[in-house]
Amino acid sequence: MEWVNALVQGILLGGLYALLATGLSLVFGVMRVVNLAQGDLTILAAFMALAIADASGANPLLSLLVVVPVLMLLGYVLQRGILNRAIAGGVLPPILVTFGIAVILQNALLEIFSADSQGLDAGPIEGQSLRLTDQLAVGWFPLATLLVAVLILVGLQLFIGRTQLGRAFRATSDDADAARLVGINDRHVYALAMALALGTIAVAGVFLGIRTTFGPLDGPVRLIFAFEAVVIGGLGSLWGTLAGGVILGVAQALGNQVNPAYQLLAGHLVFLAILAFRPRGLFPSASIRQQA
Amino acid sequence: MSLLEIAGASSFYGDFQALFDVSLSVEEGETVAMIGANGAGKSTLLGMIAGLLPTRHGDVRYDGRSIARLAAYDRVGLGISLVPEGRRIFPSLTVEENLAIGTYRGRRGRWDVASVMELFPLLGLLRVRSAAVLSGGEQQALAIGRALMANPRLLLLDEVSLGLAPVVVGQVYKALPEISRDGTTILLVEQNIEQALGVAERVYCLLEGRVVLQGRPAELERGAITSAYFGI
């Protein structure tokens, strides 16, 4: 029963990892850019929620109404203003630019909020759980996190699969020149993709902040988990990201069950095994498969 | 007033100048062919008209206004569609989605999924297939269909016969009169002189980035065309 419990908690933890990785997956899928500032933007979102909750006294979940639109706007401006220029320079410049943004964010957060660890208090929902059997209980908040992750990923998948703008995302990802020839402004599409990605990052940051403590320098660790989830699932595939997050969460929970010291190690080992034996991940996306 | 008027335009690939002081005009409703050897600048010319390559010096005027500084995606909205060399269809989209994306910035008109499928019946059988698995001829039909979905006034066709079996080339060229029937202007680039002379009302010949010959096919001597084509 302990193992079943570990498995269930791992799946729920995977929901958080999937949420953390969605923005990374989306940005890579549309513009083939690895956003190294992903983790720090997540932490930025958590601190924004903290500032809003402190100032207004409202539940940090309500701060999503502000944090999500603000980060989406930031994503659009960042892409239009800086990253589009970097993309034009090839593969390396955007990586360097996002790395620079990460460093700037870390230091700015350190300056404003100090190095103290913080947490978001979402009220009683954090402690309540759904009792399935005598020995198995599921926390409402982790369950809600997983549901939100699934909803966001299903929503994104429907948007990209079914709408004209979603088709434009895929077309631009395939061939930006050809996309311009059918009337798509590729720079605008990239900026919209980054805005969507930062919207998901905002949600991830607030949920992360409610679930665990966070500090200004925690971004890179979050980036590693997100990156592992994306690679396990397959670069650029949104379903793969969900699967990757869950696999990473389960690996960590089972490792923790063996010995609490093995929690992170188990996740990294699964990541390494996938890289070694299925380097394109479990569910490589269609467009990447065709390029190979 | 001509639909398309290029006056003394030059264009570059990076530092390499591919077009020198090119002037030409295309009337509304005309079908005009651009012939020339490999590297003569034909594709560059179409790329410049579509907005993929910059216009340096000179001007490109369309429907009476200068479009030389306009982005490629804005030119689509004005009615300029390019079927690029190498088809450049979107491999991660289905056939139907490739057609649908053609309307992204397009104008309303006679071309929609149904009428494009009527023009190229083979596409009808492949609607939900991934465009990546199509044969060369099917891809070419799809690329032309995608451009038509925008209901262009000026359709630019770049080497549509390249790499296709002769029977498929015949099918593609058979569609051109049907496309121009309601007044759509066609400017096509072709290496095959016979093919070009057969379908065009007027021909321009490019040599090393310059216009060296122009006229109506019936009025041009074969010898003159050959020497303009090869520069001998």
Grade residue A169 by pLDDT with cuts at 50, 70 and 90. Answer: very high
Distance CA A246, CA A228 (A): 11
A241-269 pLDDT, tens digit per residue, is 999 999 999 999 999 999 999 999 999 99
Residue A231 has pLDDT above 80, yes or no: yes
Pick left, alpha or beta for residue B231 (phi over 0 → left; psi -120 to 50 → alpha; otherwise beta): left
Strand partners, B24: B6
Q: If DSSP codes are grouped into helix, strand and coil, which group holds residue A35?
A: coil
- Tell me which of A103-112, A125-134, B29-38, B152-161 is least confident: A125-134
Q: Contact A174/B93, CB-based, under 8 Å?
A: yes
SS3 A223: helix
Q: Decide if B121 touches A, using CB distance below 8 A.
A: no
Do the chains contact at A178 and B100, CB–CB below 8 Å?
no
The share of chain A scoring above pLDDT 70, in percent, equals 97
Nearest-CA neighbor of B51 among A201, A34, A183, A3?
A183
- Residue A292 pLDDT level (bands cut at 50, 70, 90): very low
Q: How confident is the model at residue A290, as a pLDDT?
A: 40
CA distances from A289 to A62, B22, B93, B190 (A): 41, 42, 13, 33
Question: Which letter does DSSP use for residue A125 in this model?
Answer: G
User: What is the pLDDT at residue A285?
Assistant: 64
ipTM above 0.90, yes or no: yes
Distance to chain B for A273, nearest Cα, Å: 28
A residues 128-187 closer than 8 Å to B (CB): 164, 167-168, 170-171, 173-175, 177-186
Question: Measured in Å, how far apart are chain A's first and last C-alpha atoms?
Answer: 44
Condensed to tens digits (0 to 9), the pLDDT of residues B127-151 reads: 999 999 999 999 999 999 999 999 9
Chain A neighbors of B92, CB-CB under 8 A: 170, 173-174, 285-287, 290
| Minimum Cα–Cα distance from B87: chain A residue | A178
Mean pLDDT of B27-53: 94
- Provide the pLDDT for residue A289: 39
Tokens 């993309």 belong to A87
Bridge-based pairing of strands B31-35 and B185-190 is parallel
What is residue A206's predicted lDDT score, i.e. its pLDDT?
97
Whether B77 and chain A come into contact, CB under 8 Å, resolves to yes
- For residue A184, which residues of chain B lie inside 8 Å, CB to CB? 73, 101, 104-105
How many Cβ atoms sit within 10 Å of the Cβ of residue A137? 15
Nearest to A182 among B91, B132, B150 (CB): B150
pTM value? 0.92
Beta bridge partners of B9: B22
Identity of the residue in A177, A182, A290 whose CB atom sits nearest the CB atom of B101: A182
Among the listed residues A286, A39, A245, the one whose alpha carbon sits nearest the alpha carbon of residue A152:
A245
**Looking at residue B114, what is its pLDDT?**
95
Whether A288 has a pLDDT exceeding 60, the answer reads no
Six token digits for residue B204: 């321009």
User: pLDDT of A41-65, one tens digit each?
Assistant: 999 999 999 999 999 999 999 999 9
Positive/negative CA dihedral, B142, B147, B150, B153: negative
pLDDT of residue B171: 87
On average, the pLDDT of chain A sits at 93
**B4 pLDDT higher than 50:** yes
State both tokens at B73.
């995606």
- In CATH terms, A2-113+139-277 corresponds, of 3.40.50, 1.10.3720, 1.10.3470, 1.10.510, to 1.10.3470
Model confidence at B187: pLDDT above 80: yes
CA–CA distances in Å: residue B17 to residues A270, B45, B57, B208: 53, 12, 12, 10
The tens digit of pLDDT for each residue in B70-81 reads 999 999 999 999
Confidence of residue A235 (pLDDT cuts 50, 70, 90): confident
Q: How confident is the model at residue B13 (pLDDT cuts 50, 70, 90)?
A: confident
Is there a contact between A253 and A7 (Cβ–Cβ < 8 Å)? yes
Task: Quickly count: other Cβ atoms within 10 Å of residue B65's Cβ.
Answer: 10
Give pLDDT tens digits for B142-183: 999 999 999 999 999 999 988 888 888 988 899 999 999 989
How far from A282 is each of A163, A238, A279, CA to CA, in Å?
26, 12, 9
